[in-house]
Amino acid sequence: MRIALLGGTGDIGEGLALRSTRDTDHEIVVGSRDPEKARDRAAVYEDELAGRGIDAKVNGFANPMAADRADVAVACVPAYHLADTVEAVADSLDDTILVSPAVGMQRDEGGMHYNPPGVGSVTALAADAAPEDVPVVGAFHGLAAGRLADLDSDLGWDVPVVGDDEAAKATVTALVDAIDGLRGLDAGPLAAAPEVESLTPLLINVAANNESLADLGVRFD
């Protein structure tokens, strides 16, 4: 498949680009609002992989071009940029599954707290911004970006996947499973996204208050 990482120059984009390129045969395309930045980061990812003996091509484009002809487009952007990013690529999302890993959060003296938008979840926000015929799936929430991008680190994480389109959800779950150390789990329809997204501030708070648990993830046994 062709996998577009929209805003893939940032933290989670780096980890998904490196691990998906290393572990799968999918074509990985990095997107950005700035095509030069996308090309530069794609070259950095190629160099990192080449240093590990992996000869792979990672292309970088402006977000709309990255999304063009993509089978799956992952919006690797913060929640406050999500709607604008989706709207900017809307015309390029023909036959594309849109994936949202973003979570709305706010910080106070007590730590991080889940802060969903008015529609109930950030995944629902992505669905509202996307064309009506584009299936939207929530996945890759709560992944510790530093550990994800460190190819020397073992993961052993579960990735809850939510969405209303069963075929799209199965495609994304298979994409998750193809990455070494990740296991995709069906967590229900899009209406269950708030429960999944709210795990992220919990993980951040636990990591912040327990030095031995930095870069932790979730595993259901």
Distance CA 119, CA 46 (A): 38
Q: Name the β-bridge partners of 99.
A: 74, 137
Reduced to 3 states (helix: H, G, I; strand: E, B; else coil), residue 36 is helix
Query: For the segment 93-145, what is each residue's pLDDT rounded down to a tens digit?
Result: 999 999 999 999 999 999 999 999 999 999 999 999 999 999 999 999 999 99
**136-138: strand order across its sheet:** 59-62, 27-32, 2-6, 72-75, 97-100, 136-138, 157-163, 182-186
Give the mean pLDDT of 24-50.
Answer: 96
Query: For the segment 202-211, what is each residue's pLDDT rounded down to a tens digit?
Result: 999 999 999 8
Distance CA 18, CA 110 (A): 34
Structure tokens at 208: 């912040």
Q: What domains can you pick out in the chain, each with its CATH number?
A: 2-209 (3.40.50.720)
Res 204: pLDDT: 95
pTM: 0.94
Among candidate residues 139, 67, 70, 71, the one with its CA nearest the CA of residue 100: 139
In Å, what is the CA distance from 37 to each residue of 2, 10, 149?
20, 11, 18
